[in-house]
Amino acid sequence: MTKTKSRILTALALTTALTAPALIAPMFTAPAAIAGQTMPVQDFSDLAAKVTPAVVNVAVTMKAGADDGDETRMSDSQQKQMEEFMKRFAERFGQPMQPGRPDGKGRPQSKEKAQAVGTGFIIDAKGVIVTNYHVVGKADSITITMADGTKLPAKMMGGDEKTDLAVLKVESDKALPYVSFGDAGKVRVGQPVMAVGNPFGLGGTVTTGIVSARGRDIHSGPFDDYIQTDAAINRGNSGGPLFDMDGNVIGINTAIYSPTGGSIGLGFAIPSSLAQPVVAELKDSGRVERGLLGVQIQPVSKEIAESLSLKSEKGALVAVVQPDSAALAAGVQSGDVIVSVDGKKVDGIKELTRSISAVKPGTSVKLGVWRDGKEMTLTAKVGGQKDDAILKASADGKDGAAKPAPLSYGVSLAPLSPEARKQLGLDGDVKGVVVATVEPGSPADDQGLKAGDVLQQVGKDAVDSPKAAVEKLTEAKTTGKPVLMKVFREGMTRFVAISPRAA
């Protein structure tokens, strides 16, 4: 038996209190029942008959060693992340399981091939199929099975890991049934929807529900904008279509949120508005070309906004400008806050990432930049995307922060000596002073500074000795504002803003 696959957002199971039915019933009596009427039941039978011929099962065989692990049991790292973040760890739909082991225990032997199943849907009579990238991205061979039992070998035309979309192609001597994308921009919360897929290998399964929410960010990447639905989605539904009542695909089912691995009514679908242009590019060229600005960015915290005299916490703070980048050529500097792109306001790092990614490489854009207490405009000719990243952004704003300060900030500083460089694994290009200790409960500790961080800049001034850093920090105290510090940690540079402790 081939183990089905799914992408799951694991969460801690919550214990619920039981309430006596007698106490609940009067609260939930339907008005129609009081009037002696029956509520009409939505009939999906015509819709199902119309669209299911275009929905296919996707069977994948992967090369030996492609197994990512046992998805039916949580690893120690998954358990830790569950405990820390409650609902942030994402496990792929379609991680391979050992053939013939329905309980999912163990891994394939080195000479065995892992197998998994998912779902796809045909969007062209000539055999173009859409599914999830995580279903087929590691495939050695792909076979699709149609609703009438026809099996056809498939090849991947292209895939995009960032949006979790892939396009397959099959050859057939006859025109194939297909479905079309709808307009996800018109989707309304509460409207009925229908999912069709291959849960646990049970092909042609139809489930129904409503749109529970729109614009969901499940922290899986920079393009999160999911449709949430309570239609049952389980392992094997990955890559399947979410239909509106007109039979148009408004979403591609890709993730579930569950403490058990099964559906609890929290499913997430990539909206067609995001999927359609990606699918078009994958059909044409096999890859998605995105713009690249060439910066590392971080969120603007309340303290950072105050230190920079910004009126709000909107925008994206530039931590590092990469060499030979579009940003460097445009004059963008570390410490700038990008607040708009071509006049469109940037609320945060995700909006900046999406805006630049949507720009065709070689196109010039106007960047609204906040620097030295005022806004200015820079023109950047957007570069092409590198293989591994678009804009390298950190979502939580806490990864790299260091606080060097006199006692009022809660840190002590030391020179960046050859011994310190060796101990910290730093090359000669890294300049600054070392955070020697951080006082528990201090402002520096509150902002996440650690011993071993390298303080490189206080305000707009670089520092190369503890004395210089202390002088700048002392000067900063007189302003009454948080002081902006540039900190280097484990290969990443970030800014943090720290208010001195009251004397």
Residue with tokens 């529900």: 209
Cβ neighbourhood burial of 32 (10 Å; 0-12, 13-18, 19+) = exposed
> Which residues are CB-contacts of 249 (< 8 A; sequence separation ≥ 6)?
121, 123, 179, 180, 181, 182, 241, 242, 243, 272
Phi/psi-derived region of residue 500, left when phi > 0, alpha when psi is between -120 and 50, beta in every other case: beta
Instruction: Report the run of H or E that residue 62 belongs to, with start and end.
Output: strand 55-62
* Cα gap 188→169, rounded to integer Å: 32
- Closest of 269, 274, 187 to residue 231, by C-alpha: 269
> What pairing do the DSSP bridges indicate for beta strands 249-258 and 267-271?
antiparallel
> Which residues are CB-contacts of 243 (< 8 A; sequence separation ≥ 6)?
47, 51, 179, 193, 194, 195, 196, 249, 250
Catalytic residues: 134, 164, 238
* Cα gap 343→492, rounded to integer Å: 30
Instruction: Report the run of H or E that residue 48 belongs to, with start and end.
Output: helix 45-51
Does residue 300 contact residue 319 with C-beta atoms inside 8 Å?
no
In whole angstroms, how large is the CA radius of gyration of the chain?
27
- Closest of 91, 88, 140 to residue 113, by C-alpha: 140
- What are the phi and psi torsion angles at 80 (to 5°)? -65, -45
Does residue 438 contact residue 432 with C-beta atoms inside 8 Å?
no
CB atoms within 10 A of CB 42: 10
Coil, helix or strand for 330? helix
- What are the phi and psi torsion angles at 407 (to 5°)? -60, -30
* 64: its two tokens: 């030996």
* Cα gap 117→140, rounded to integer Å: 13
Does residue 136 contact residue 165 with C-beta atoms inside 8 Å?
no
Coil, helix or strand for 344? strand
> What pairing do the DSSP bridges indicate for beta strands 392-393 and 295-299?
parallel
Helices (H) and strands (E) in the chain, counts: 12, 29
- Closest of 243, 268, 234 to residue 192, by C-alpha: 243
CA distances for 400 relative to 192, 298, 308, angstroms:
45, 10, 19
